[in-house]
Structure 1
């Protein structure tokens, strides 16, 4: 008697395991009935299946984190960089995630790699380093639009690291140094131009009044009279000398 009950009990346990399914709060079950799927996923909680007629696939509805492997990217200004990122996404429609794509995790990862190379390749290196927030938003928007048909919502994308070759770093440093020198020369030239303009205005004012230039000479002599450390050669215009000589005669 017992030899017959034991196999029956084992068979009953196997059947019950196929009939009774328990889904956690963050899980949903996509049930196929004779190969056809329903409009909505089952769960959470207790789910009953018909053996040999219905099969169920579990789908995790929590936010998933996918690390995008480092990608070799050629920027718009022909700089080779190595970039990696991380994406945060979740399944919002379990039926689409199972039916519309074979493996939504692998598909999302591959799409993220392609999108990362495509978007960053349209920008210069300076934009990659300085406008990272905007690039994150652009990549997230593209991924979200393309994965919508799979029942997936991309919540966030973060570019983690942008690595540049050592030789390129030295080239960028030389470029930055040259740019600083250029700006310094431009600022110096602008200062000289402004000084020349002010001197021209001052000369025009002095030329309008007779004797003003002589007063300016005397004022300058007074300022430097106290400096006795060096020999001071002070220029004196020939016109002023001629005026002084005419005054004596």
Structure 2
């Protein structure tokens, strides 16, 4: 093989290499979840969706941009709270590019810019909160930091999906003081619950005693009512019995057609029964004295007759 043939083969190989390199520069594949941004001589030309993209070799350049949501773990940083306590904060920021052109051409390096913006927003938000607020209100921190960042990132074509505060760590001496305070609060709460339990128990006992007293009083009242009712019924029965006895005696006497002498004897008998009682004084009308004397004499005669009882 002569020298000319060797040179020809070399040139052919060089042409093949150039063609392959050119084809590689011309034909590109944009994956799902990406877009391709084409620049021609450094100037933006167009944006391609996923798929096969053909560009002019040596003139056009294709830059692939990931459009998926991306977590960005932040670095730990020291932040001063409103009450001048230094806390260590660490947060993860979830971002998503919504406009590839803006993300590439509105800021020099959006990754570095987002990290710096997140650090600034965290310092700004936590600086307006006390230590207790920063430890207990993480959702508020997430929301406020996201709102502050979105004011800037919207201009970059980047959306802040969410922010997760991973850590807020006070100094060791503050942690120890917080632990002691928590223990004191728990003991205080336990004492309050104990006193409330004792108070409730006393209230329950008092209520029980009051109910028992009321029931006892009601029982005594009912017993007194029943006793009075019984006495009233007994008095009624006794009065009715006396009335019936008087009526019976009166009817018997009336049927016998008594004369004045018999009436006088009955009066004398009644007076004698009153006279049997001690400290009893009987006043007899003067006009009845003669009649009573005669009746007394007649009663004596009748008593002397056998069978006169």
TM (normalized to structure 2)? Answer: 0.56
Residues 15-56 of structure 1, C-alpha deviation per residue, up to 9 Å, x if partnerless? 111111111111112111233213x52121111111232122
Q: Distance in 2 between matches of 1:146 and 1:114?
A: 12
Name whichever structure is richer in strand by fraction: 1
Name whichever structure is richer in helix by fraction: 2
1:172 Cα deviation (Å)? 3.0
Q: Distance in 2 between matches of 1:179 and 1:68?
A: 35
* 1:24 aligned to which of 15, 20, 31: 31
Q: Distance in 2 between matches of 1:24 and 1:184?
A: 62
1:184 Cα deviation (Å)? 9.7
* 2:63 aligned to which of 57, 64, 76: 57
Partner residue of 1:35? Answer: 42
Q: Distance in 2 between matches of 1:185 and 1:14?
A: 82
Residues 170-204 of structure 1, C-alpha deviation per residue, up to 9 Å, x if partnerless? 233455567778899999xxxxxxxxxxxxxxxxx
Deviates more, 1:172-181 or 1:113-122: 172-181
Q: Distance in 2 between matches of 1:77 and 1:182?
A: 26
* 1:13 aligned to which of 9, 20, 28: 20
Alignment of 1:171-190 (within 5 A): 171-175=177-181
Higher relative contact order (CA 8 A, sep 6+): 1
Deviates more, 1:28-37 or 1:173-182: 173-182
Residues 195-221 of structure 1, C-alpha deviation per residue, up to 9 Å, x if partnerless? xxxxxxxxxxxxxxxxxxxxxxxxxxx
Alignment of 1:133-212 (within 5 A): 133-175=139-181
1:58 Cα deviation (Å)? 1.4
Partner residue of 1:207? Answer: none
TM (normalized to structure 1)? Answer: 0.68
Structure 1 gaps of 5+ residues are 188-249
Note the aligned Cα RMSD (angstroms). Answer: 2.7
Structure 2 gaps of 5+ residues are 1-7, 194-309
